Amino acid sequence: MEVVRISQEQIDTGSIGSLACEALEAGNIVVLPDHALFDQQADIDFLLGLKQNASSLHKNVAYKPAAHKVTGATTHSPGDAERLLDVMSRFSKRALSLLALVCPPYAQKWKTDYASYRPFEEHGRDLPLKQRNDLMHVDAFPSRPTHGGGILRLFTQINPSKDRVWRVSGPFESLADKYAMNAGLRDVKGGSAALKRAAAKVGRAVGLKVPDRTAYDQFMLGFHDYLKGNEEFQHTREAREYNFHPNQVWMCYTDVLAHSVLSGQYALEQTVIIPPEAKVRPEIAPVSVLERMAGFPLTPARKRQLQSA
Ligand code: SIN
Ligand code: FE
């Protein structure tokens, strides 16, 4: 894993091309050391103050751009709720604009996912195994399958004084080589995995809210849990720690780069889903790596592409 630093000048002069995309796709972290995502200190102060006022925030505060809605923050006065929505929606817009500038090849091609505010101290958080952020993993969303798309996330932190500390390892290909078969890659084609997909389809047809998971999504969700529970991987010597400083912006594909967060408080994040065909190097996308190993396509769309090729 490398850390690729991008200067404001590279962004301003539009000279970045596919440099950041290539670095991200290969499992590296792109850092913008001197980029201020918030232009008003009052917004930062509001977010920092929120934690003290609200005792029952959920795991994170989520902002859902498509619905223009905040969830996970329950105990605000109507005024605070309105302000939070406004602050989160402006953060999301600025983060998306920045993503488009840093990754020009992806602009217009992504699916905008949620933004989040992470107001809790990560060190020593008491969460169930699957939700623990301090165990290394690659990301997969239970309720929002990507159908082979990559999970690209832009982070920043508004903590005025403390670093956010990650442990990272990867890239995906070496993880997959080592663990994908044991984690059940071959099993997602048929058997109970296929039955689950068929049952989910029936459920959706009768109006139930069942996620539309492809074999890829089923595997990635299982891989997330498998890695968190794998002692050998959790103690791998290949992992290294990395500190993000206050007010830095950083990005990575969290389904390519294995990561965990050891400590830190008050981060924000915006996620976009990048279809494999929009990537600069689609052949190293997790879905391509896994398909080569499995020997069969992992999504219906890729099966159709293969048949028509
Ligand atoms: C994660 O995606 O596992 C957590 C990253 C963070 O909140 O810093
Ligand atoms: Fe994660």
User: What residues are in contact with ligand 1 under a 6 Å CB criterion?
Assistant: 118, 133, 139, 164, 254, 259, 261, 267
Ligand (nearest to CA of 269): 1
CATH number at residue 49: 2.60.120
Q: Which atom of ligand 1 is nearest to the CA of 137?
A: 3
Pocket test of ligand 1: the residue of 254, 262, 263 to mutate, having most ligand atoms within 8 Å of its CB, is 254
> Residue 58: its pLDDT value, please?
63
Q: Which atom of ligand 1 is nearest to the CA of 254?
A: 2
Does residue 52 surpass a pLDDT of 60?
no
In angstroms, rounded to a whole number, what is the distance separating the alpha carbons of residues 221 and 215?
A: 10
Residue nearest to atom 8 of ligand 1 (CA): 261
**Percent of the chain at pLDDT exceeding 70:** 96
How do residues 129-148 score in pLDDT, each as one tens digit? 888 899 999 999 999 999 99
- Going by pLDDT thresholds of 50, 70 and 90, the confidence category of residue 56 is very low
Distance 139 CA to ligand 2 centre (A): 5
What mean pLDDT comes out for the span 66-90? 88
> What's the structural domain count of the chain?
1
Q: Which atom of ligand 1 is nearest to the CA of 155?
A: 8
pTM: 0.96
What mean pLDDT comes out for the span 181-208? 94
Of 50 and 93, more confident: 93
How do residues 242-267 score in pLDDT, each as one tens digit? 999 998 999 999 999 999 999 999 99
Q: Which atom of ligand 1 is nearest to the CA of 153?
A: 2
How do residues 205-245 score in pLDDT, each as one tens digit? 999 999 999 999 999 999 999 999 999 999 999 999 999 99
Distance 203 CA to ligand 1 centre (A): 32
Average pLDDT over the chain, rounded to an integer: 93
What mean pLDDT comes out for the span 175-193? 95
Q: Which domain holds residue 20?
A: 3-308
Residue nearest to atom 7 of ligand 1 (CA): 261
How do residues 17-43 score in pLDDT, each as one tens digit? 999 999 999 999 999 987 889 989 999
Does residue 99 surpass a pLDDT of 90?
yes
